[in-house]
Homo-oligomer: A and B are copies of this chain.
């Protein structure tokens, strides 16, 4: 079909690109942290705590041995040495305290009445005659877990918004927590439009491609704590798209493809007709036709270009920021950053944000690799990190220190 340049779209995209900050500000206005749900402790790994969790009981509830060893009275060990070892009689746990006695005790057992310290197994010679010898003084409280030392009643265990890892789960279990409130996982609707897709397992005809966006987005959404609905594939025309945008209860909707200026690129116009198109066209070279808007009742919609690398960056910068924010995570890119020096010049055309893949070389140094525009999604696969060059910059000279978002590990 002959492509009539769509007047409104050309104008909008050609002259009114929004900055990343504009889109981020829109997301902060229109995407709220979701409500919470009660989830059993066994299922909270990776979830985000919805409220601070405070200990209701102290851990341990009584003084107890921190390690296997013998419980004894510290003051009796004063003066003990290799030349003058102290001999103690082993008595059973619960026997009335007597002078010069000790009790073999397992880690976690409550300290016997009358004892105030534990000597570890390597501090003591246990004989086979009901006695043991200790060759150094033991301080009061040595290897004793005092009641409440681990956790005092009322102490904060987990902060609101904290991601629950194995260590937090262990500490919560130790405090008797078995159910807790976590932020609901954002349900993300995926609408894949247009583009002739090759069947998997068959060589794609020229001009058709395998769908990468569905699998890519499902994995990205899961990484960011969301739950992708099964992708719905629709023809890219307005009627099909409008039908797909009718409220189905998703917290966020992503429309992939049909964002460009062509006559059959219907995503932006359809969003404008069934809801509100807030932004279309962003000043990011990798995904300049991305957009955002709202469909009733008040569901944020993200328009992502269909080319996989463009789809990736429109997700990472915009849709993903919304998923992360709705799910209670920081809105920022979920990568750690590091300042590193460029082994080669990094060139970038002025006027748009440019996302440049790099690989790590010698310690602390990076080198640009073939950009997304050339290498597509493979650049993301091969890159160790990315450098984000701002709109007003032409790039960086060799040896410049730049901020690198590390994609791996």
| Interface residues in chain A, defined as those with a beta carbon under 8 Å from any beta carbon in chain B | 1-3, 5, 7, 10, 13-14, 17, 41-42, 45, 57, 59-62, 64, 66-68, 90-93, 103-104, 106-110, 120-122, 125-128, 143, 145-146, 149-151, 157-158, 165-178, 195, 198, 200-216, 218-220, 222-223, 260-262, 265, 285, 288-289, 305-308, 310, 312, 336, 351-352, 370, 373-378, 380-381, 407-409
Contacts of A169 in B (CB 8 A): 215-216, 219
Q: 6 interchain pairs (CB within 8 A)?
A: A3-B104, A41-B215, A107-B310, A150-B375, A170-B216, A174-B377
Closest 5 CB pairs of A and B: A170-B216, A166-B219, A174-B212, A173-B215, A150-B376
**Bound Cα distance from A200 to B178, whole angstroms:** 7
Given contacts A212-B173, A216-B173, A261-B68, whether A206 and B373 have CB atoms under 8 Å apart is no
Contact B216 A5 (CB under 8 A): no
Shortest CB-to-CB span from A267 to chain B, Å, is: 12
Is the CB–CB distance between B312 and A170 below 8 Å? yes
Copies in the complex: 2
Q: How far is the CB of A330 from chain B (nearest CB, A)?
A: 10
Q: Which residues of B contact A158 (CB under 8 A)?
A: 381
**Min C-beta distance of A169 to chain B, whole Å:** 4
A2 contacts across to B, CB distance below 8 A:
91-92
Known: A122-B352, A165-B219, A170-B380. 19 other contacts (CB 8 A): A45-B223, A59-B209, A66-B374, A67-B288, A68-B260, A104-B261, A107-B310, A120-B285, A120-B288, A122-B288, A166-B216, A166-B222, A167-B380, A171-B381, A173-B212, A174-B210, A176-B198, A176-B200, A177-B200
